[in-house]
Chains A and B, each alone.
Chain A
Amino acid sequence: QVQLVQSGAEVKKPGSSVRVSCKASGGASASLAIGWVRQAPGQGPEWMGGINPMFGTTIYAQKFQVRLTITADKSTNTVFMELRSLTSDDSAVYYCAKPPYYDRSGPFYFDLWGQGTLVTVSS
């Protein structure tokens, strides 16, 4: 049974960066495609992008194109999401999630989610 386990909560200053990890366990393939979704308090989810380590490809929502980087470490079955130049608007729960399908346009939808990582941006 594949599980996605994310790193712990973070508190960051405006202008800084945050890096959240997502480790796949329970027999997961080292090439597990992963997407990232964030959810601000009381808001709907927001799709950020994804990575397919099998093909070494990433895709980002245009909104995050400049300040988001998603990488994967196949040796540890871990995917990382780094968001730079943080503002208070980036305060949210960040989720990694597994798509059952992934093509050139990115992850389709998600059938397995991590537990979420709360990122708080405050001076």
Chain B
Amino acid sequence: DITMTQSPDSLAVSLGERATINCKSSQSVLNTSNNKNYLVWYQQKPGQPPKLLISWASTRESGVPDRFSGSGSGTDFTLTISNLQAEDVAVYYCQQYYGVPRTFGQGTKVEIK
């Protein structure tokens, strides 16, 4: 199984500042045949299912604010929330879909400082 490790486990950021979440996979999730990274980011708020934010490591889903951005390739990925808003308080998960089973990171909790 591909292990997804996120860091940090939690972080507190002031409103309007930047939050950076890292996700590392135990093996590359880059498909060299199409040069795509098989990684997504989700946001989950209490009592709700996860919400898809970014697919293919860096493609923002329709309706997702442009303060959310994804980057990285191979085994190291980053979700950046610029200009943090109060509604961004949530737990964020990465998930790989390169291997079976699909696997998720343990989550990063973002709070307001």
Interface of A is mostly: loop
Residues in A whose Cβ lies below 8 Å from that of B95: 45, 47, 109
CB distance from A46 to the nearest CB of B (A): 7
Measured in the bound complex, the distance between the Cα atoms of B97 and A106 in whole Å is 9
Contacting residues of chain A (45-101) with chain B, CB-CB under 8 angstroms: 45-47, 59, 61-63, 95, 97, 100
Measured in the bound complex, the distance between the Cα atoms of B24 and A57 in whole Å is 31
CB distance from B81 to the nearest CB of A (A): 19
**Contacting pair A44 B93 (CB below 8 A):** yes
Tally the A-B contacts, defined by beta carbons under 8 Å. Answer: 49
Tally of B interface residues using CB under 8 Å: 20
**Contacting pair A109 B49 (CB below 8 A):** no
Question: Contact residue range for chain A?
Answer: 20 to 34
Interface string of B84-108 (1 = CB under 8 A from A): 0000000001010100111111110
Measured in the bound complex, the distance between the Cα atoms of B61 and A44 in whole Å is 21
Measured in the bound complex, the distance between the Cα atoms of B102 and A110 in whole Å is 11
Q: Does B38 contact A (CB under 8 A)?
A: yes
Chain B positions within 8 Å of A, measured between CB atoms, are 38, 40, 42, 49-52, 55, 61, 93, 95, 97, 100-107
* A-B contact sample (7 more), CB < 8 A, given A95-B49, A113-B49: A45-B95, A47-B102, A63-B101, A108-B38, A108-B97, A109-B95, A113-B50
Ranked 8 nearest A-B pairs via Cβ = A113-B49, A61-B101, A47-B102, A108-B97, A109-B40, A44-B104, A45-B104, A44-B106
